[in-house]
Amino acid sequence: MKQILVIGSRGSKLALTQARFVQSELERLNPSLATRIEIVTTSGDVKTDPLAVIGGKGVFTRELEEALLDGRVDVAVHSLKDLPTIIPERLHIAAIGQREDPRDALIIRADIFELCKTLESLPAGATIGTSSTRRLAQLKHLKRDATLKDLRGNVDTRLAKLDRGEYDAVILAAAGLRRLGLERRISVMFSPSDMLPSPGQGALGLETRADDAQTIAAVSLLDHYATRIACTAERAFLRELGGGCQLPIAAHAVVADQLLHLDGLVADTDGRQILRDKVTGGTNQAEQLGKSLATELIARGAKELLSQLDSLHGIS
Point out the residues that are catalytic: 82
Tell me how many degrees the CA angle 216-217-219 measures, rounded to the nearest 5. Answer: 60
Cβ neighbour number for residue 151 with a 10 Å cutoff: 22
- Residue 257: CB partners within 8 Å, gap ≥ 6? none
Amino acid at 148: L
For the chain, the C-alpha Rg in angstroms (whole number) is: 19
H or E stretch covering 108: strand 104-108
Q: By C-alpha distance, which of 173, 164, 162, 163 is closest to 198?
A: 173
Interior/surface letters 17-41, b for 16+ CB within 10 angstroms, e for the rest: bbbeebbebbbeebeebebebeebe
Using DSSP's 3-state secondary structure scheme, residue 280 falls into strand
Burial class (CB in 10 A: 0-12, 13-18, 19+), 136: buried
d(CA 204, CA 223): 10
